Structure 1
Amino acid sequence: MSADGAGDGSPATETGGGADSGQEKTGNRRRRRRRRRRGGAAGANAAGESGSSGGSGGSGGSGGSGGNNGRRGNRSSGNRSRRAKPANANVEVVTGTLEGILELHPKGYGFLRDRLKDYGAQDSDAFVSSSIIEKHRLREGVLIRGEVGPGTKGQGPRLKSIEAIDGCALEDYQEIKHFDELTAISPDRRICLETGPKPVTMRVMDLLTPVGMGQRALIVAPPRTGKTMLLQDIANAVSINHPDVHLIVLLVDERPEEVTEMRRSVNGEVVASSMDRDVENHVRVSQLVIERGKRLAEAGKDVFILLDSITRVARTFNKWGGNTGRTMTGGLDVKSLDIPKKMFGTARQFDEGGSLTICGTALIDTGSRMDEVIFQEFKGTGNMELVLNRDLADRRIWPAIDIGKSGTRHEEKLLDPDALDGTIMLRRSLISLNSIEAMEQLTRTLERFPTNAEFLTKIRSIL
């Protein structure tokens, strides 16, 4: 009985096993079809399950094959779709000779930024390897011209060789001393802002707040006091009277329409990170422009940077790195002004030749306690201060300069003896008047003389 049962059971068992195997194969095929349609992680997991079940059911080859097909399907549908759209897939790789400003990364490599695109980060910027940077001892902010070629793995262009650095041969560049190794001295070479009878604003500045090469000038400006027009007049005067000076206008967190107006009215390099850009871009651009100025100055050139504004730069660094947990009045982090102060403090004249002049604006009376704290922190860092007066601006008296609060340190090094005597007499005659009467009288008198020299000669003869 048992033998018959065993004999009957053996075929039944084999038949049952064959049916189970057939059902399992059918299930595997269905699962494979679902995996092909999905092509996701769930399909990969199902492939593993089908492979293991196939191995245990005597159809391991089919199950294993199904698992492999599932993995291939996953690669073809999932990963391939991710590879199909790299960040720079549509960027045409530039080859040949290229120029750009070097921006260094903390990890040692860098990129060449385009001056015509406000030093912004672009996919088409050439990559500079750390080996090239170390070999030639490249510093951030230098202008590099070199040969570029395609990068690897679909990357952007890559710098292959260097032809010139700031217009110098590689051997000559190695002889340039570093910025911190040069000797800083007080400004003693005057920047003349007077371009003719008009604008009167520049003539007033030449008389009351003379500017020299390497000056660290601070323009203190309440809202709607003519700050933008003043900066445009200064930029135009520098470009006209000193065409050999490298002029850079740096606009940070400004309105886009003011950026456009500045580009159209100024004959110089205008670099802007307008208010529609993020904080990281403000930080990058502002630091790179200062580094660019340092590289030109240490090479013996005279650089003039108009910075609008120091207040917005300080706000930017407060947002970017103000996370120490210690705040001052107005919500300003205690460490947030370290870098902006260092940037403003780079202005100087070198005994070996070259200078970096920075004329920055500080905003006051904005209703923000933070802005007042920023102004107080920068108040003693400059060696020239020009204060704009809201009362003068409200009465449409231009320039709206507060004569009593404006002045230049060591102006005797900038003015010749006759001009110095004339300006001292002028201040003595105006100091007894209030700011409105003093500026009205000064502008009326200046209109009668075509040049400041004739005006000062008349002042000395009378007083």
Structure 2
Amino acid sequence: MAKKKFRPRSGGGGGQGRSGYGGHYGGGGGGGGGGGGGGGGYYQGGGGGGGGGGGGNGRPRRRRRPGPPGMGGGGGGMRDGNGMQGDDRQPYYDRERAPEAPKLDENGQPIPVKEMVLEAGYGLLEMHPNGYGFLRSPDNNYSRERSDPFVPGTMIEKYSLRQGVMIRGQVQPGRGHQGPRLREVTDVEGMPPDDYIKVKAFDQLTPINPDRWFRLETGPQPLSTRVMDLLTPLGRGQRALIVAPPRSGKTILMQQISAGVAANYPDVKQFILLIDERPEEVTDMRRNVKGEVCASSLDNDIESHVRLSQLIIERCKRMAEMGQDVFLLLDSITRLARAFNKYVGDKGGTMSGGLNIKAMDIPKKLFATARAFEEGGSLTIVGTALIETNSRMDDAIFQEFKGTGNMELVLDRKLAERRVWPAIDVTQSGTRREELLLEPEALHAVTMLRRTLSSMHPVDAMEQLTKQLGRFKTNAEFIKLISSARMD
């Protein structure tokens, strides 16, 4: 026996009753006056009644809440297959956000809306993987704040903006649950946005060996920077590694290096990046250096360490693209690698000391960004690596970075214990291609000096060197003495 097809019942006219209910596959539109609106179907809303017609009942799947009496039109029930609700065919997710009707004055004319007020804003662009971004404030240590202006993806594509650029523009203040939004870009890295498109990317520039010397000497004291100028000269674009055991004077040496660069090269932009450091160390560094200190102390989470380190490196790259000389002190590479080791989790295999194989990929890439460019501009990175910490992971991290730099300065704990400062191991420290940095006379004198010091015990060598340097006000006078071979 053939199965009968179900036909929905049509709704009859009603009096001042309640609205009808939706049928299983579709409710019929009601007629008559005074009744409720037509019932909506389960899969598709039913047609509305007339001026107040009541809808009839189909076969209800489950009881729906009826509409108020006397309401005309409008299908009840669930939305149709197109995600619409009711007869106005408006997406259900936009109904609450529909613009309000303009307000009218006493004459029935719409009242003009006030013009949108924009404020001047600036910040560092941090991009999201989905293409949009936010402007992070240097005053807040580039942390994520609800007050950071939103940068739409279309604006990023229009001006070819890269992560780490400093942007100034007109910002629409936040309203309601929405935060501020960048509406207009006035300049990017100090130039019109249309001109920034022509700037070459970091990877398109030509890297060369450092050939411009950073002179750190500022006077008779401190002796640490004077010793570095002789034994480990630092050039613009250098990739330097300070290898330091605990309590060997690493922090003081970094402050003296920063002071030497600030005094002799005020046009060089300095960044001091502190990762997983003690909070009191961060405060001390901010009070004793003139560069911009960016810190994620040990009370921050791993994501903060990873995010800030990448963001600051990108900032340095953007400035180097513009032809500026940037100097970055990174303390420390060891703690940075530890953070990435936790960040990558269990991906990949494990090396000695529990170090993940993929944990070193990004830290080594960040350290390798230091370079000088033939077109102009440079990025110098001086990072610290911790040794003799009784940690196999720290030793493995140092071995991974060993040989990646073109200058190494090794501090000796025995010298530090005897209070010989700087506690530099002369035989283990040096700069590659130092002939590109030093004058021929100075290079000859340094060569003779190394021959003399290498034949001595490291402790005796540094004691003798500091004693001789203390007799002269400048390194130039000391070099003349060595050149004449009259060193006592």
Instruction: Give TM-score scaled by structure 2 length.
Output: 0.75
- Whether the aligned pair in 1 keeps the contact of 2:254 and 2:329 (CA below 8 Å) is yes
Shift of 1:65: 8.2
Q: Secondary structure at the match of 1:134?
A: helix
- The reply to whether residue 236 of structure 1 matches residue 276 of structure 2 is no
Identify unmatched segments of 5+ residues in structure 2: 1-56, 69-116
Shift of 1:155: 1.9
Amino acid at match of 1:284: R
Alignment of 1:372-387 (within 5 A): 372-387=395-410
Match of 2:233 in 1: 210
Match of 1:427 in 2: 450
- The reply to whether residue 168 of structure 1 matches residue 170 of structure 2 is no
Amino acid at match of 2:335: R
Alignment of 1:240-255 (within 5 A): 240-255=263-278
Q: Say which of 306, 312, 320 aligns to 2:343.
A: 320
Between 1 and 2, higher relative CO (CA 8 Å, sep ≥ 6) is seen in: 1
Aligned mates of 2:264, 2:178 — CA distance in 1: 46
Shift of 1:323: 2.1
- The reply to whether residue 277 of structure 1 matches residue 300 of structure 2 is yes
Identify unmatched segments of 5+ residues in structure 1: 1-54, 67-93
- Whether the aligned pair in 2 keeps the contact of 1:176 and 1:299 (CA below 8 Å) is yes
- The reply to whether residue 452 of structure 1 matches residue 450 of structure 2 is no
Q: Secondary structure at the match of 1:359?
A: strand
Cα distance change, pair 229–61 in 1 and its aligned pair in 2 (3 A): closer
Q: Secondary structure at the match of 1:418?
A: helix
Q: Secondary structure at the match of 2:171?
A: strand
Shift of 1:171: 2.5
Shift of 1:99: 1.1
Q: Secondary structure at the match of 2:353?
A: coil
Aligned mates of 1:61, 1:345 — CA distance in 2: 68
Alignment of 1:268-307 (within 5 A): 268-307=291-330
Amino acid at match of 1:279: I
Shift of 1:287: 0.2
Amino acid at match of 2:165: V
Amino acid at match of 2:429: S
Match of 2:379 in 1: 356
Match of 2:38 in 1: none
Cα distance change, pair 123–424 in 1 and its aligned pair in 2 (3 A): same
Residues 43-85 of structure 1, C-alpha deviations (whole Å, 9 max, x = no match)? xxxxxxxxxxxx9xxxx9998689xxxxxxxxxxxxxxxxxxx
**Identical-pair percentage:** 61
Residues 163-204 of structure 1, C-alpha deviations (whole Å, 9 max, x = no match)? 011111112211210000000000000000000000000000
Residues 220-277 of structure 1, C-alpha deviations (whole Å, 9 max, x = no match)? 0000000000000011111100001000000010000000000000011111011111
Q: Secondary structure at the match of 1:137?
A: coil
Q: Secondary structure at the match of 1:171?
A: helix
Amino acid at match of 1:442: L
Aligned mates of 1:116, 1:268 — CA distance in 2: 14
Match of 2:425 in 1: 402
Cα distance change, pair 151–426 in 1 and its aligned pair in 2 (3 A): same
Aligned mates of 1:288, 1:306 — CA distance in 2: 15
Shift of 1:151: 4.5
Cα distance change, pair 239–62 in 1 and its aligned pair in 2 (3 A): closer
Match of 1:224 in 2: 247
Farther-moved stretch of structure 1 (143-152 vs 329-338): 143-152
Alignment of 1:57-68 (within 5 A): none
The 4+ residue runs of structure 1 with deviation greater than 6 A are 60-63
Aligned mates of 2:279, 2:228 — CA distance in 1: 28
Aligned mates of 1:63, 1:242 — CA distance in 2: 77
Q: Secondary structure at the match of 1:271?
A: strand
- Whether the aligned pair in 2 keeps the contact of 1:322 and 1:332 (CA below 8 Å) is no
Q: Secondary structure at the match of 2:146?
A: coil
Q: Secondary structure at the match of 1:335?
A: helix
| Count of matched residue pairs | 378
Amino acid at match of 1:158: R
Residues 363-422 of structure 1, C-alpha deviations (whole Å, 9 max, x = no match)? 001111000000000001000000000000011100000000000000000000000001
Q: Secondary structure at the match of 2:428?
A: coil
Aligned mates of 1:124, 1:95 — CA distance in 2: 15
Match of 1:118 in 2: 141
Aligned mates of 1:268, 1:223 — CA distance in 2: 24
Cα distance change, pair 336–61 in 1 and its aligned pair in 2 (3 A): closer
More helix by share: 1
- Whether the aligned pair in 2 keeps the contact of 1:263 and 1:270 (CA below 8 Å) is yes
Match of 1:411 in 2: 434
Aligned mates of 1:124, 1:255 — CA distance in 2: 28
Alignment of 1:152-167 (within 5 A): 154-167=177-190
- Whether the aligned pair in 1 keeps the contact of 2:119 and 2:173 (CA below 8 Å) is no
- The reply to whether residue 190 of structure 1 matches residue 229 of structure 2 is no
Q: Secondary structure at the match of 2:358?
A: coil
Aligned mates of 1:119, 1:250 — CA distance in 2: 12
Shift of 1:118: 1.3
Cα distance change, pair 206–63 in 1 and its aligned pair in 2 (3 A): closer
Alignment of 1:21-36 (within 5 A): none
Aligned mates of 1:61, 1:439 — CA distance in 2: 92
Residues 272-305 of structure 1, C-alpha deviations (whole Å, 9 max, x = no match)? 0111111111111000000000000011000000
- Whether the aligned pair in 2 keeps the contact of 1:95 and 1:157 (CA below 8 Å) is no
Cα distance change, pair 457–130 in 1 and its aligned pair in 2 (3 A): same
Match of 1:178 in 2: 201
Q: Secondary structure at the match of 2:404?
A: coil
- Whether the aligned pair in 2 keeps the contact of 1:322 and 1:335 (CA below 8 Å) is no
Q: Secondary structure at the match of 2:405?
A: coil
- Whether the aligned pair in 2 keeps the contact of 1:218 and 1:360 (CA below 8 Å) is yes
Q: Secondary structure at the match of 1:330?
A: helix
Q: Secondary structure at the match of 1:337?
A: helix
- Whether the aligned pair in 2 keeps the contact of 1:179 and 1:298 (CA below 8 Å) is yes
Cα distance change, pair 152–395 in 1 and its aligned pair in 2 (3 A): same
Q: Say which of 342, 350, 355 aligns to 2:365.
A: 342
Cα distance change, pair 419–155 in 1 and its aligned pair in 2 (3 A): same
Aligned mates of 2:474, 2:345 — CA distance in 1: 49
- Whether the aligned pair in 1 keeps the contact of 2:135 and 2:151 (CA below 8 Å) is yes
